[in-house]
Amino acid sequence: MGQLEGKTALITGATRGIGHAMAKLFASEGADVAFVYRNSDDLAASVEDELKACGVRAKAFKSDVQDFQQVQTTVGEVVKEFGRIDILVNNAGITCDGLLLRMGEQQWDEVIDTNLKSAFNFVKACAPVMMRQRSGNILSVASVVGIHGNAGQANYAASKAGLVGFTKSVAKELASRGIRANVIAPGFVVTEMTAKVDPSVVEGWCAGIPMKRGADVDEIARAALFLVSDQSSYITGHVLDVDGGMGM
């Protein structure tokens, strides 16, 4: 029996990268998967089929995670379709890098809204559902950058650090209701997001990682599975580094 049998997971940004890897792993562990995507209808439909091939229910929902009202509507549709939400993964995120002196207001707002406000939007919409169920599990994808900072990523680092404070507060508020909330903080992961980074920069990153390489998306997904499954039933408010030793 799969570790997530009988559970419904809602994952944001699951058409590619880390979110896609989590969706596939959770489905292979028996979870029904609802996922949120922003643009690509064709890609979302093909991911839906891919997940259904695991023998679970899967459905894509088009929504902009930054938009409070859209998220309220989307979560309502997920509940209508699946009847419950056991696992929420706040994964969708962007970078829009630049040194502080050159960073514009829009560059700041876009990253904070996509990476941090999105988590508020989804937790606000999902918490009442989880409270009615008297159980739920929230996982947010932060970054080592949120813990250590990074030149050129003040907006991104602030959004990811914000997720840590947000999650710990939510964990304290909702623990007595049977709801856990945790964070994973990946280091460098090989995805489309990091593919746009200059190869010489990537080489520099790898040199600074004790394990001398970036993570595969499946390595992040497996850490996520631990935190959203009953294997971690006594863990809440925790930040799990999944970074090859980068943050030591």
Positions touching ligand NAI (CB under 6 A) are 12-13, 15-19, 36-38, 64-66, 91-94, 114, 141, 143, 186, 188-189, 191-194
DSSP letter for each residue of 38-107: SS-HHHHHHHHHHHHTTTS-EEEEE--TT-HHHHHHHHHHHHHHHS---EEEE---------GGG--HHH
Retrieve residue 179's tokens. Answer: 């709801």
Q: Which of 156, 182, 224, 227 is catalytic?
A: 156
Residue closer to ligand NAI by CB (options 78, 141) is 141
CB of 145 to ligand NAI, least distance (A): 7
Element (H, E) at 139: strand 136-141
Element (H, E) at 37: strand 32-37
Contact 209, 246 (CB under 8 A): yes
Contact 10, 88 (CB under 8 A): yes
Residue closer to ligand NAI by CB (options 136, 187) is 187
CB of 245 to ligand NAI, least distance (A): 15
**C-alpha R_g of the chain:** 17
CB of 132 to ligand NAI, least distance (A): 26
Q: Helix count (H) and strand count (E) of the chain?
A: 10, 7
CB of 101 to ligand NAI, least distance (A): 23
Known catalytic residue at 37: no
Amino acid identity for residue 244 in this structure: G
Residue closer to ligand NAI by CB (options 131, 206) is 206
Retrieve residue 207's tokens. Answer: 């040199």
Residue closer to ligand NAI by CB (options 7, 117) is 117
| Cα–Cα distance for residue pair 58/27, rounded to 1 Å | 8
Retrieve residue 154's tokens. Answer: 């003040």
| Cα–Cα distance for residue pair 20/9, rounded to 1 Å | 13
Dihedral of the CA atoms 37, 66, 139, 143 (nearest 10)? Answer: 100
CB of 141 to ligand NAI, least distance (A): 4
CB of 84 to ligand NAI, least distance (A): 22
Q: Which residues are catalytic?
A: 156
